[in-house]
Amino acid sequence: MSAPPQAPDPQPALIELQDASRSVRLPDDSLLTILAGVNLTVQSGEHIGIVGRSGTGKSTLLNLLGLLDRPSDGAMLWAGTPVQRLSGRAAARIRGRDIGFVFQQFNLLPGRTALENVAAPLLYATGREFRRRKDIAAAMLDRLGLGHRLDELPTNLSGGEQQRVAIARALVRGPRVVLADEPTGALDVETGRMVMGMLDEATRESGSALITITHDPAIAMMAGRRFRLAGGRLHPGEAGHPGGSLHPAACGNAGVANAEEGA
């Protein structure tokens, strides 16, 4: 239920959910609880995998972690600051600067080239970051092996390439945490594994925390810590691979282990 004990650290955790719940009021005035009593601590640079089937509250958890929503009960701290105290503008600023999103459907902006897509978050930056947005975006795409595809439109890119553009976009402002929502859901197994490896490696290089929410236990297994989301509650899963390396064998084992766990 709760995160494993942490070594004493003077720095506050990056994200901390303390008995956080999220419920919504239905038209008939009854209360529907989507998440209940969630405890989770995310430290800087940590990789976490959360597995859950559809309807278990994955989106809601993603909303909370991405500062797109607030818990209705309990507390959530962002770098030690209760999110309830953050204004919408402050939350948006943190989201732009410190949080990168990777989505299942890539969600590249249509009609914009790969370079324009990666430069898009930098339109919300200021100063040098804004002025040099194209150079920064080009460098990030180059880092993900797409230096030769800068001017391609998303429609001319393969699924794997599109997701790499999306990863470049998520990382371009050097976020403190990357939230990946079913990042391999729209890719075949092989491409998904390759893309996930890139995401894993890129976040490790940049020191960003990575929280992957997926229904695929094999993907979740890559994380240092993993959890299982069921019925709106977060259950600690088995320890993953501390190195977070994506070894096919490890993925296979993880898949089996989780299948058993799920059953």
Contacts to other proteins by CB under 8 A: 59, 62-63, 66, 68-69, 88-89, 92-97, 101, 103, 105, 107, 109-112, 116, 120-121, 123-127, 130
CB of 239 vs other proteins, minimal distance in Å: 29
Round to whole Å and give the CA distance between 263 and 258.
8
CB 110 to other proteins: min, Å? 7
Q: How far is the CB of 173 from other proteins (least distance, A)?
A: 8
In whole angstroms, give the CA distance from residue 216 to residue 186: 12
Q: How far is the CB of 94 from other proteins (least distance, A)?
A: 8
H or E, element range at 24:
strand 15-25
For other proteins, the closer CB: 5 or 110? 110
Phi, psi of 203 (to 5 degrees): -70, -35
Q: Assess contact for 118 and 174: CB atoms under 8 A.
A: no
Q: In whole angstroms, how close is the CB of 58 to other proteins at the nearest point?
A: 10
**Is the CB of 22 or the CB of 241 nearer to other proteins?**
22
Between 116 and 193, name the residue whose CB sits nearer to other proteins. 116
Nearer to other proteins by C-beta: 185 or 197?
Answer: 185
30 or 126, CB closer to other proteins?
126
Q: Kindly give the residue spans of alpha helices, DSSP state H, lying in the chain.
A: 58-65, 88-98, 114-119, 127-131, 133-143, 159-171, 189-206, 217-220, 248-262
Q: Is 246 helix (H, G, I), strand (E, B) or coil?
A: coil
